Amino acid sequence: MDNNRYDNDTVLCECDLPTLQRFVEELETRHEVKLVKAPGICLTMVRAEDSLEKQEFFLGEALTSECEVAVDGAPGYGLCLGEEPVRAYCIAVCDALLQGGREVPTALADFVATEREKLFARETEEFNHILRTQVDFKLMEQD
């Protein structure tokens, strides 16, 4: 498995919220953050693709949280599943710094890389745990 398969959004949506919140509070001391649209709860249509006909369809609605900010004048948008307004705000701040068209702050790049490694390790552990619970039918046939 390749741990680079996790994009920044996935990492920020899946990382530990208190850790992310503390990190964003540090960023707020070094950057000017303006709230454009306060964190709010909304419903978002979920798209899926039919595996046989390869046609896209709407699976239904999902409860999401969204937020818009401006960090040093650069726009940022945060969207995550569930009722998590704090996470949406934190994602928006990070998004503005990641998408701002300028160099990504080293602290942010390091944070995302560290959290990506943690996510990869957690999912690898879960995958290995699932493998241990699978039945080996070839062994059962030998009895």
Provide the β-strand partners of residue 64: 42, 81
Q: Give how far Cα 42 sits from Cα of 28, 72, 119, Å.
A: 26, 27, 26
Please check the confidence at residue 104 and state whether its pLDDT lies above 90. Answer: no
Q: Are 8 and 122 in contact (CB under 8 A)?
A: no
Q: Residue 80 falls within a domain, yes or no?
A: yes
CA-atom Rg of the chain in angstroms: 19
> pLDDT tens for residues 2-45?
455 678 999 999 999 999 999 999 999 999 999 999 999 999 99
Contact in structure between 87 and 59 (CB atoms under 8 Å): no
Beta bridge partners of 77: 68
Query: Which residue's entry shows tokens 């039919």?
Result: 50
Q: CB within 8 A of 92, min separation 6: which ones? A: 67, 68, 69, 76, 77, 78
Q: Residue 89 domain-assigned?
A: yes
In a domain, 142, yes or no: no
pTM to 2 decimal places: 0.82
Q: In this structure, which long-range contacts are made by residues 14-19, counting pairs with CB atoms below 8 Å and at least 24 apart in sequence?
A: 14/115, 14/119, 15/115, 15/118, 15/119, 16/115, 16/118, 17/84, 17/86, 17/87, 17/90, 19/115
Instruction: Tell the residue number behind the tokens 């160099």, with chain if given.
Output: 103
Q: Does residue 141 lie within any of the structural domains? A: no
Number of domains in the chain: 1
Spell out the residues 6+ positions from residue 142 whose beta carbon is closer than 8 angstroms to its own.
none
Q: Summarize the confidence of residues 107-123 as an average pLDDT.
A: 92
136 inside domain: no
The answer as to whether 143 is a domain residue is no
pLDDT attached to residue 65: 97
Residue 138 lies in a domain: no
Q: Is residue 68 part of a domain?
A: yes
pLDDT of residue 143 exceeding 60: no
Q: Which of 52-61, 95-104, 119-128 has the highest mean pLDDT?
A: 52-61
Domain that includes residue 60, residue range: 3-131
| Tens of pLDDT, residues 36-83 | 999 999 999 999 998 889 899 999 999 999 999 999 999 999 999 999
